[in-house]
Amino acid sequence: MLGAFAVDALDPMQAREVRAHLRDCATHAAEASELRAVTAGLADTVEPLTPPASLRSRVIAAVAVADQRGTPGTGAARRVRWRGQAWTWAAAAAAVAIVGLVAWNVVLLTRSSGESLEGLARRAQIVSTLQPQGAPGGGVVLYFPDDRKAIVLGNGIRELDAAVSTYQLWEIAGDTPRSIGVMQADPDGRAVAVVPFEGGAGHTLAITVEPPGGSVQPTTAPVFVTKI
């Protein structure tokens, strides 16, 4: 639960359990500190978005409706709040899972380096989105130019039968593809991989579907591509 703990997404009971464990476990306390540093830095790697003008009125209207449903503390009001919270938590859980995976992979990416993880996270760049080529879903690529590595994050992509096929990632310079790794999507369509990537003008990151373990050369057309 450290990834969710790092972005304050656990319910109060789970958060208390994690904090109690961290008081007695130096290893996980250090990892939690690293993850919090990464998630704090990730906020600076994306361009800020201006909320729609309708957001304020929608929030005010939602609060007004909630106030009319019952006095806080009554059984009916608690049930209404619980249903609302359940939907909110379910929606947040998807985002939390993605952020947690990214943060954890950044930790693994730099575990052996001397640089602070917060410093690395601030150097990361979301350089492009994964463009689907007739396949469902998409994703983003975070590129660390100084480390020549990238984090590929898929979202809403098709889960594959691991016994039959895998997603294989390629760096293409000119017309020459180079295999840089494989990954699988979970049942919710999320996938993440930390891969070596040299970068440079005109380099393409492409994802194909290949047999288990990958292929020496691509055997299918790309399902996702992006320019780095």
Specify which residues 210 forms β-bridges with: 166
In a domain, 87, yes or no: yes
Shared-domain flag, residues 97 and 136: no
End-to-end CA distance of the chain: 32
Q: Is 105 found in the same domain as 8?
A: yes
Q: Are residues 138 and 181 in the same domain?
A: yes
- Same domain? 83 vs 145: no
In 93-216, the DSSP E strands lie at 125-132, 138-144, 149-155, 166-173, 176-183, 191-196, 204-210
By three-state DSSP, how is residue 93 classified?
helix
What gap in Å lies between CA 72 and CA 65, rounded to an integer?
Answer: 13
Domain count, the chain: 2
Structure-model confidence comparison of residues 66 and 35, the more confident one:
35
| Best-predicted range by mean pLDDT (29-43, 101-115, 157-171) | 157-171
105 and 72 in a single domain? The answer is yes
pLDDT at 180 over 90: yes
Domain region containing 24: 2-110
Looking at the DSSP bridge assignments, the partners of residue 225 are: 131, 206
- Written as six digits, the tokens of 69 are 């449903």
Integer Cα distance of 110 and 124 in angstroms: 12
DSSP line for 17-60: HHHHHHHH-HHHHHHHHHHHHHHHHHGGGS---PPPTHHHHHHH
Smallest Cα–Cα separation from 167: which of 189, 142, 199?
189
Structure confidence by residue, pLDDT tens digits, 110-150: 554 455 545 555 566 656 788 999 999 988 888 877 778 88
The residue among 45, 78, 110 that closes a domain is: 110
In a domain, 115, yes or no: no
